[in-house]
Amino acid sequence: GAVVSQHPSRVICKSGTSVKIECRSLDFQATTMFWYRQFPKQSLMLMATSNEGSKATYEQGVEKDKFLINHASLTLSTLTVTSAHPEDSSFYICSARVTGWGNTIYFGEGSWLTVV
Amino acid sequence: AQSVSQHNHHVILSEAASLELGCNYSYGGTVNLFWYVQYPGQHLQLLLKYFSGDPLVKGIKGFEAEFIKSKFSFNLRKPSVQWSDTAEYFCAVNARSGNTPLVFGKGTRLSVIA
């Protein structure tokens, strides 16, 4: 199946700093990628929809100035958590829609962010 | 907007028991349906998906799901579970038309005991 890779898988950062998470589709092009957040023992919550070459669409309640999403190419989307705080500590997961192969969505491995 | 309801928060089964996890969705249009599994410490993996055609879908690792349109349901089944099936299972749906993200249920934790 299609492969989506996220990096880093785990990151610890100090409060007030920014951290970037990358999401790459390794063997296919993805015009659309999605970013989710998963709190412990809870379901995935959609944060934003990232479309290649245009601005991301954020879900209600998600601060777009805090969670910067860039989708500069058909194989890479990045999520930057700016001025991170401990409450931003979470599991962030990206997914990519396989363009032209129907509607299947594949997920990255996820990134554990811990803000100390 | 779509919504997904998974009725069981935590299911505990003995090995070789049969499994059925409920999933109901709410949406007025045509949908695609998915089941994902997340093993402890690992990422989400696609178990199976339904787009159209035969409503009984077979997936990996012996799992299957049946789409019952009249009940807006897409329950996941496995005739005989193994200890290695211990994981979190997520039902998800998206609208067939347009470029829509998945909407997830809250997940069901399955614990299989020896």
Q: Are A54 and A30 in contact (CB under 8 A)?
A: no
Q: Which of A91, A107, A115 is nearest to A17 (CA)?
A: A115
The answer to whether A107 contacts B44, with C-beta atoms less than 8 Å apart, is: yes
Q: Which of A56, A58, A50 is nearest to A34 (CA)?
A: A50
- Chain B hits for A102, Cβ within 8 Å: 51
**Residue in B44, B96, B103 nearest the CB of A103:** B96
With a pLDDT cut of 70, the percent of chain A lying above it is 93
d(CA B13, CA A96): 33
For residue B1, pLDDT over 80 is answered with no
Q: What is the pLDDT of residues B36-87, one digit of tens each?
A: 998 887 778 889 999 889 999 999 999 999 999 999 999 999 999 999 999 9
Q: What is the pLDDT of residues B25-45, one digit of tens each?
A: 998 788 889 999 988 877 788
Q: Are B35 and B58 in contact (CB under 8 A)?
A: no
Q: Which of B75, B19, B28, B101 is nearest to A105 (CA)?
A: B101
Mean pLDDT for the stretch of residues A25-48: 85
Nearest-Å Rg of the Cα atoms of chain A is 13
Give the angle subtended at the CA of A79 by the CAs of A51 and A85, to the nearest 5°.
Answer: 145
Q: What is the pLDDT of residues B85-99, one digit of tens each?
A: 999 999 999 887 766
DSSP bridge partners of B108: B89
What pLDDT sits at residue B99? Answer: 65
Q: What is the pLDDT of residues A13-26, one digit of tens each?
A: 999 999 999 999 98
- Chain B residues with CB under 8 Å of a chain A CB are 32, 34, 36, 42-46, 49, 51, 90, 94, 96, 99, 101-107
Mean pLDDT for the stretch of residues A38-49: 82
